[in-house]
Amino acid sequence: MPTAETEAAVVQFRETFEKLRAEIAKFIVGQKDIIEDVLTSVICGGHVLLEGVPGLGKTALVNTLAKALHLKFQRIQFTPDLLPADIVGTQILVERDGHKVFEFQPGPVFCNVLLADEINRATPKTQSALLETMQEKTVTVAGKTHQLEMPFFVLATQNPIEQDGTYPLPEAQLDRFFFKLFVQVPNHDDFVEILNRTGGVSQPNIAAVATGDEILNMGKLSREVPVEKSVQDYLVRVVRATHPTDGQATEQVKKYVRHGSSPRGAQTILAAARVRALLDGRYAVARDDISKSAIPALRHRILLSFEGEAEGVKTDAVIGDVLEKVKA
């Protein structure tokens, strides 16, 4: 049983989460699940890839989140001519005490919240500049490693329908994203509310309702949520079942999947499930927490085979089938 101190911390966790969600909802209409998943990722110290057609508010969501958090925010517009040094920084020649020396000039990645806008427009060489940053939270230039300030997370956007001038994200970089989220077209009522909020003279005022230390403490609390052996076993079986060569693989996985999720996918599901448990007022992870976290955590970590690509199979459907079969 959790102590009184732990119970109070869980209550504080939920209150801070709801304050952030309500503040973001002042500007972002609908998208309740997207907002919750983005906040979950941020608390876990993860990065998010937002995919959707232009005009759905992906960039606006990131901007609003940055305003709701008392953190340093930077935006990089990814283009084909963007260079790695434009992201991480470079050595420049400066004069110090009458001598010319090389000095490191930090790039925009030295912040807390980094918006990588249209990330798939940059070349693979430039995209790879984020690999160390996203995983190790460090930047190495000219043999010297620089530590980023915590918390640090990347929120990247990409357009799925525009192919000219775009480059697919490498699997190694995709695997570093905590969640991949699809931003959908709003329904009729949300469309009307969007026009009402953005068509007037004034815009909603977004206030900073949480600090970086609060986010770090929320992440620390979530990592302390216990997980029963049976629930952990269920998680492992779900992730292993995404591999076509595994004995627990479903027929869809064997037929349509070329490569399943990495162990990082299991780590992501567990971290997100712990946050979901706390939001539900529980201090223990349930199987439903695992199931609800699996699709956004695995959809970008499963590679379809040629047959799966040719038949237009969606990874979400494959993951849903795995959850159904493993649970049964």
Does the pLDDT of residue 51 top 70, yes or no? yes
Q: Please tell me the predicted confidence (pLDDT) of residue 200.
A: 65
| Least confidently predicted of 52-56, 134-138, 272-276 | 52-56
- Whether 164 and 310 share a structural domain: no
Q: Please tell me the predicted confidence (pLDDT) of residue 231.
A: 92
- Whether 168 and 243 share a structural domain: no
Does the pLDDT of residue 102 top 70, yes or no? yes
Strands 257-259 and 303-304: antiparallel
Does the pLDDT of residue 54 top 80, yes or no? no
- Whether 140 and 266 share a structural domain: no
- Whether 181 and 48 share a structural domain: yes
* Percentage of the residues of the chain whose pLDDT score is greater than 90: 27
- Whether 220 and 231 share a structural domain: no
The total domain count for the chain is 2
- Whether 134 and 247 share a structural domain: no
Mean pLDDT of 14-28: 87
- Whether 192 and 231 share a structural domain: no
Does the pLDDT of residue 216 top 60, yes or no? yes
Residue 172 tokens, joined: 């190694």
Final residue before a domain boundary, out of 224, 250, 278 = 224
- Domain of 259, in residue numbers: 226-328
Tens digits of residue pLDDT in 77-95: 988 888 888 888 887 877 7
Q: Please tell me the predicted confidence (pLDDT) of residue 272.
A: 95
Q: Please tell me the predicted confidence (pLDDT) of residue 1.
A: 63
- Whether 315 and 182 share a structural domain: no
Residue 86 tokens, joined: 């434009």
Final residue before a domain boundary, out of 224, 255, 275 = 224
Mean pLDDT of 53-72: 82
- Whether 74 and 217 share a structural domain: yes
Mean pLDDT of 25-35: 82
Determine how many CB atoms are found less than 10 A away from the CB of residue 96. Answer: 8
Q: Among 117, 120, 129, which Cα is nearest to 63's?
A: 117
Residue 226 tokens, joined: 């216990």
Where in the chain does DSSP place strands (E)? 48-51, 69-70, 73-77, 89-96, 99-106, 113-117, 138-141, 144-147, 153-158, 179-182, 210-211, 257-259, 303-304
- Whether 89 and 151 share a structural domain: yes
CATH number of 188's domain: 3.40.50.300
Mean pLDDT of 306-312: 87
CATH number of 301's domain: 1.10.8.80
- Whether 61 and 192 share a structural domain: yes
Q: Which residues of 162-194 are buried (b: 16+ CB within 10 A; e: fewer)?
A: eeeebbebeeebebbbbbbbebeebeeeeeeeb
Final residue before a domain boundary, out of 224, 255, 286 = 224
Q: Please tell me the predicted confidence (pLDDT) of residue 164.
A: 64
Tens digits of residue pLDDT in 236-251: 999 999 999 888 888 8
More reliable by pLDDT, 308 or 166: 308
Whether pTM > 0.85 for this model: the answer is yes
**Phi-psi category of 159—alpha, beta or left, where left has phi over 0 and alpha has psi -120 to 50?**
beta
Q: How confident is the model at residue 328 (pLDDT cuts 50, 70, 90)?
A: low
For residue 233, give every residue at least 6 positions away whose Cβ sits within 8 Å of its Cβ, in sequence order, or none. none
Does the pLDDT of residue 167 top 90, yes or no? no
For residue 53, give every residue at least 6 positions away whose Cβ sits within 8 Å of its Cβ, in sequence order, or none. 159, 160, 161, 185
